[in-house]
């Protein structure tokens, strides 16, 4: 299954690793993201390190693993879906995630409850994906 990965899912995994990390390495999932995801991780680096108690080196190592396992789709590839995404995305700062989901015709993996306040794109919270993939 192809799925767009939202930054909040990865930030949560970095801060408090647990069973949900199994999803990240599940071969049944193909993870995609706009470049924005990695900008969000970098912008929240200090907070992630503080809350997770990771060292800078550990964060950088995990960041590189994430970058190698998530396919980044250049924004110019899905720019044509931005206007449609603007109409359905509940939060203007997340329009690129919705545009990419429209472009790839796939769901978004996010724990943002407000994302479900629209009917165009399927949104899976972590616990929903874990149940779908029978990861307990």
Instruction: Give residue limits of the domains in the chain.
Output: 2-132
Distance separating alpha carbons of residues 50 and 71, to the nearest angstrom: 27
The pLDDT tens digits for 50-105 are 999 999 999 999 999 999 999 999 999 999 999 999 999 999 999 999 999 999 99
pLDDT above 80 for 120: yes
Distance separating alpha carbons of residues 127 and 112, to the nearest angstrom: 12
pLDDT confidence of residue 85: 97
Angle made by CA atoms 121, 86, 88, in degrees to the nearest 5: 35
pLDDT confidence of residue 94: 94
Handedness of CA 110, 111, 112, 115 (dihedral sign): positive
pLDDT confidence of residue 135: 86
Nearest residue to 4 (alpha-carbon basis) of 84, 114, 124: 124
**Contacts within 8 Å (CB) and 24+ apart, 60-64:** 62/14, 63/38
Does the domain made of 2-132 have the CATH classification 3.40.50.1010?
yes
pLDDT confidence of residue 131: 93
pLDDT confidence of residue 29: 94
**Over the chain, what is the mean pLDDT?**
94
Residue with tokens 């509940």: 90
**pLDDT-derived band of residue 22, with 50, 70 and 90 as boundaries?**
confident
pLDDT confidence of residue 43: 94
Distance separating alpha carbons of residues 92 and 19, to the nearest angstrom: 31
- Contact predicate 123/17, CB 8 Å: no
pLDDT above 90 for 18: no
């Amino acid at each position: 299954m192809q799925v767009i990965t939202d930054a909040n899912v990865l930030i949560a995994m970095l801060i408090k690793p647990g069973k949900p990390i199994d999803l990240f390495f599940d071969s049944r999932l193909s993870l995609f993201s706009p470049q924005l995801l990695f900008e969000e991780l970098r912008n929240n680096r200090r907070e992630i390190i503080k809350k997770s108690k990771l060292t800078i080196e550990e964060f950088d190592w995990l960041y590189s693993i994430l970058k190698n396992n998530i396919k980044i789709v250049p924004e110019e590839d899905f720019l044509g879906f931005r206007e449609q995404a603007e109409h359905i995305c509940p939060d203007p700062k997340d329009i690129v995630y919705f545009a990419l989901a429209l472009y790839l015709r796939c769901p978004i993996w996010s724990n943002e409850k407000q994302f479900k306040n629209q009917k165009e794109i399927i949104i899976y919270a972590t616990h929903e994906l874990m149940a779908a993939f029978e990861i307990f």
